[in-house]
Amino acid sequence: DYISFIASKITLERGVSVAVDTMNATGGVIVRKVFQRLGLNPIILNEEVNGFFPKGAPEPKPSKLTELRETVVSKGLELGLAFDGDCDRVMLIDDRGRFVSPEKTAAYLLYNMEVKKGDIVVTTVNSSLLIDEVAEDLGLKVVRTRVGHFYIIGEVKKLNAVIGFERSGHMTIPSLRLFDDAILVASKILEVKSRTGRLSEFIDKLPKYFNEEVNVKCSDKIKFRVVEEVKNLVSSEYSIETIDGVRAITSEGWFLVRASNTEPLVRITAEAKTGEKLNELLEYAKKLVIKAMNSLKA
């Protein structure tokens, strides 16, 4: 069965103190049983499955993880884990109660997995350059895809990559299973934790980047043309990539402008080495989007 499958893939060297938020969703049925089989006694928040989701939609984003963060800190635990509604995404909290981005989670796994020079890491166009620095340090190659776990899984399979992930929390480790099985990924994180030191100390040693995503409301009728117009505006000034929208690489960092596939929005992601430069890039990209929208409405 599923629990035996995970137990056959994961071996912890010692117990790990962990809090888990299953957000009143499907994880409440199985997570405790899996972690107990691995020899753990997890603290589980919002374990009762309730389709009315009394605390809101089961979305493991930083703004919804206050209870988990406070539990980890107040009880002196080693880490926290939060699952989404159908357990294909997991987010990590370190021992200081800080949200750990998927890029940092991937770095944590890569530094503690068997990888060899030339191995491939697959991620999306909107992920941090942090992963590029980590890959360079380990002699790995980063390949970027369009946003969406479907694209990640396909590229991981095609390139025989060692890991694939996106910023929303989808992750696959194909040596374990070619699928975004968040309970299995979380179990692997716990295995690594059982033989390493404080998670916060690892996080603090990673390169520092500031990134943010903002949305601009834009009609479905013109949103893809807006992105095309932004590409025209920046293509002569910056090095650009057009895997998904337009990603412009500047001397200060990068920004990405892409149309949402599901909502009437244009999404802007930017990243820089300082908060000040990040804000400048976001403002610049926003102005470009608004300029493009106005030109198409004219």
Class of CATH domain 210-297: alpha beta
Divide the 298 residues of the chain into consecutive groups of 10 and give the mean pLDDT of each group.
98 99 98 99 98 97 98 99 98 99 99 98 98 98 96 98 98 97 99 99 98 97 98 96 97 97 96 98 98 90
Sorted by sequence, the CB contacts under 8 Å of residue 192 that are 6+ apart come out as 108, 109, 112, 113
Class of CATH domain 2-205: alpha beta
Domain 2-205 and domain 210-297, same fold? Reply is no
Instruction: Write the secondary structure of the chain as one string of H (helix), E (strand) and C (coil).
Output: CHHHHHHHHCCCCCCCCEEEECCCCCHHHHHHHHHHHCCCCCEEECCCCCCCCCCCCCCCCHHHCHHHHHHHHHCCCCEEEEECCCCCCEEEECCCCCEECHHHHHHHHHCCCCCCCCCEEEEECCCCCHHHHHHHHHCCEEEEECCCHHHHHHHHHHHCCCEEECCCCCEEECCCECCCCHHHHHHHHHHHHCCCCCHHHHHHHCCCCEEEEEEEECCCCCHHHHHHHHHHHHCCCCEEECCCCEEEECCCEEEEEEECCCCCEEEEEEEECCHHHHHHHHHHHHHHHHHHHHHHHC
Residue spans per domain, the chain: 2-205, 210-297
Sign of CA dihedral 226, 228, 229, 231: positive
**Confidence (pLDDT) at 298:** 65
Cα angle 36, 37, 41 (rounded to 5 degrees) comes to 15
**Confidence (pLDDT) at 297:** 82
Least Cα distance to 267 among 114, 125, 171, 156 occurs for 125
**Confidence (pLDDT) at 214:** 97
